[in-house]
Chains A and B, each alone.
Chain A
Amino acid sequence: MSYLGNTPTTQSFISGTDYFNGTGAQTAFTLSRTVASVNDIQAVVNNVVQVPNDAYTISGTTITFTSAPSSGTNNVYVRYLSTTTQAITPSQNTVSWSTLDSNVQGDLGISFKNKIINGNMVIDQRNAGASVTINSAAWTYVTDRFCFLGQATDGVFTAQQSSTSPAGFNNSLLVTVTTADASIGASQIYTLRHTIEGFNTADLNWGTANAKTVTLSFWVRSSLTGTFGGALNNEGTRSYPFTYSISAANTWEYKTITIPGDTSGTWGTTNSHGIRITWGLGVGTTYSGTAGAWAGSEYFSATGATSVIGTLNATWYITGVQLEVGTQATTFTTAGGSYGAELALCQRYYFKKGPQASSDVRYGIGFSASGSTTTAYINVTLPVNMRTGPTSVDWNNTLALWAGGTNFQVTAITITSSGASVTDCLLTCTTSGITGEKAFQLVAWSSGGGFLGLGAEL
């Protein structure tokens, strides 16, 4: 016969009585069974039932009387009233995440489960905490792996790494609206995006009948309340809009969204984009879809979601972003498991050399050789294998080619075609007045701030 719970034969009550000889001095006696409470036994001395807690206490297999029972043979006995204590082995697939003690949940915070890199917003190679104005339709990275899209006209917001964070975190990503757009055009998009490389989502089997369910979790805080939106998409043909609510202004709230795996569409499984996750800050109707369902369109948010960009001075923070396999949001961990590992993961997509300290008047970035009177080539060895050969280069105008005590200011740096690999990158520095076939050092020639950045973002 089938049954629920433990096997009846081992769970049922088993009677029993322990007998002891009183000595007039002994107060503690050892029981044959472990009991959890004074109410699980009945203690009798000289045929008088004792009052639990007042006359005796229990600790494991020890019963301790307040007063030593008088001398006698078997004049002290203990009758067991509850089931026997037994070890229970849960059946497979019967212990859920929520059943576990919170400390156990923390201990099980296994690394490499989180598919989001820099989900705690700690790494900010490009800006080191400085505010970035988002006022164009170009994807602009702020903290590593998180980029924003704005508009060249209408709304403007700033974004920066913040030290305001929920307990257990040091940083978040802050958005502040500086020019509101209360009337968003149908095709206008203000959004935050994180892209997961296909190599890191291939195990989800999306686009197949075996697509795995995932759960997105994050901490969010805003000066606004209401229903906000976002989406998962493959950039073009498949999207899953979602909503989350913020019920209290300026208060951190933890959100979890479980997304059934997509059995349709084409999802990247190599070094191109796998899954793009967006959090809408104000998205027009063309790019907003019905929440909670897969659709064959490109959506960045959910229909009817609250627009952050619509309110001047509105703030919106996010941190602790995690995407993992399964239906349960577990304790946050970084993708790499340590700061160093997380930085290396970030450097697969962006690597910044410098900035130099303010005292470094000639901070050396690397050696180069001139190819003509206006160009010099510099080979940069990358700290980790990047996702692909670098696709963009950042610099500031303090860079110069230096040789023999003379600086030749660099006016442009470009990636030399066919010169980029995942381990090295050849750059062309444009300048003027140099001599061909001569060695130079690429330096930041004024004090403070010189840098070179190489990107291989998705």
Chain B
Amino acid sequence: MNKIVTVKNLTGQDTYHIIRQTGEESYTSFPIQADNPNWIALKTAILEDKAQLQDADGNTMTAEQAKDFVKELP
């Protein structure tokens, strides 16, 4: 599952990241940025109904909610 989290950067601004659990105790994260290949692939998969998205509280978005959400992101 792909969870969106917010992390403050060095200047105190909120930045968005995806955290994905990849194993029983392992994770990967990547920033939501227009040129990030991991984000590009995930965004494409969400728009093609091939991946799901969770909000920061762990609630799984519906496919339509996820699509609408990612369309607003870079």
Contact of A414 among B20, B29, B41 (CB under 8 A): B29
Q: Which residues of A contact B30 (CB under 8 A)?
A: 391-393, 415
Contact present for A392 and B50 (CB under 8 Å): no
Contact of A138 among B9, B33, B48, B51 (CB under 8 A): B51
The contact string, 1 if C-beta is below 8 Å from chain A, for chain B 17-44, is: 1011011011111110100111001100
Contact present for B31 and A417 (CB under 8 Å): yes
Shortest Cβ distance from A415 into B: residue: B31
Q: Which residues of A contact B8 (CB under 8 A)?
A: 372, 375
Q: Which residues of B contact A417 (CB under 8 A)?
A: 9-10, 15, 31, 33
* A443 CB-CB contact with B under 8 Å: no
Q: Which residues of A contact B17 (CB under 8 A)?
A: 412, 414-415
Contact present for A396 and B26 (CB under 8 Å): yes
* B5 CB-CB contact with A under 8 Å: yes
The contact string, 1 if C-beta is below 8 Å from chain A, for chain B 57-74, is: 000000000000000000
Q: Are A391 and B9 also in contact (CB < 8 A) when A152-B52, A415-B30 are?
A: no
Q: Are A138 and B45 also in contact (CB < 8 A) when A414-B31, A457-B37 are?
A: yes
Contact present for B36 and A391 (CB under 8 Å): yes
| Cα distance, A415 to B19, chains bound together (Å) | 11
| Cα distance, A396 to B31, chains bound together (Å) | 18
The contact string, 1 if C-beta is below 8 Å from chain B, for chain A 389-425, is: 0011111111000000000000011111111000000
Q: Which residues of B contact A414 (CB under 8 A)?
A: 5, 7, 15, 17, 19, 29, 31
Q: Are A397 and B29 also in contact (CB < 8 A) when A137-B51, A187-B48 are?
A: no
Q: Are A397 and B25 also in contact (CB < 8 A) when A391-B36, A417-B9 are?
A: yes
The contact string, 1 if C-beta is below 8 Å from chain B, for chain A 368-396, is: 00011001010000000000000111111
| Cα distance, A375 to B30, chains bound together (Å) | 17
Q: Which residues of B contact A375 (CB under 8 A)?
A: 7-8
- B15, B20, B50: which has the most chain A beta carbons within 10 Å? B50
Contact of B23 among A371, A396, A428, A430 (CB under 8 A): A396
Q: Which residues of A contact B22 (CB under 8 A)?
A: 140, 394
Contact present for B9 and A418 (CB under 8 Å): yes
| Cα distance, A187 to B51, chains bound together (Å) | 14
Contact present for B29 and A396 (CB under 8 Å): no
Q: Could you tell me the distance in whole angstroms from the C-beta of A352 to the nearest C-beta in chain B?
A: 11
Contact of A152 among B9, B29, B38, B51 (CB under 8 A): B51
Contact present for B37 and A458 (CB under 8 Å): yes
| Cα distance, A196 to B10, chains bound together (Å) | 34
Q: Could you tell me the distance in whole angstroms from the C-beta of A355 to the nearest C-beta in chain B?
A: 10
B-contacting residues, A146-205, CB 8 Å: 151-152, 187
| Chain A residues proximal to chain B, CB less than 8 Å | 136-140, 151-152, 187, 371-372, 375, 377, 391-398, 412-419, 428, 430, 449, 453, 455, 457-458
| Chain B residues proximal to chain A, CB less than 8 Å | 2, 5, 7-10, 15, 17, 19-20, 22-23, 25-31, 33, 36-38, 41-42, 45, 48, 50-52
**Sample of 7 A–B contacts (CB below 8 Å):** A137-B50, A151-B50, A392-B30, A392-B36, A394-B22, A412-B7, A414-B31
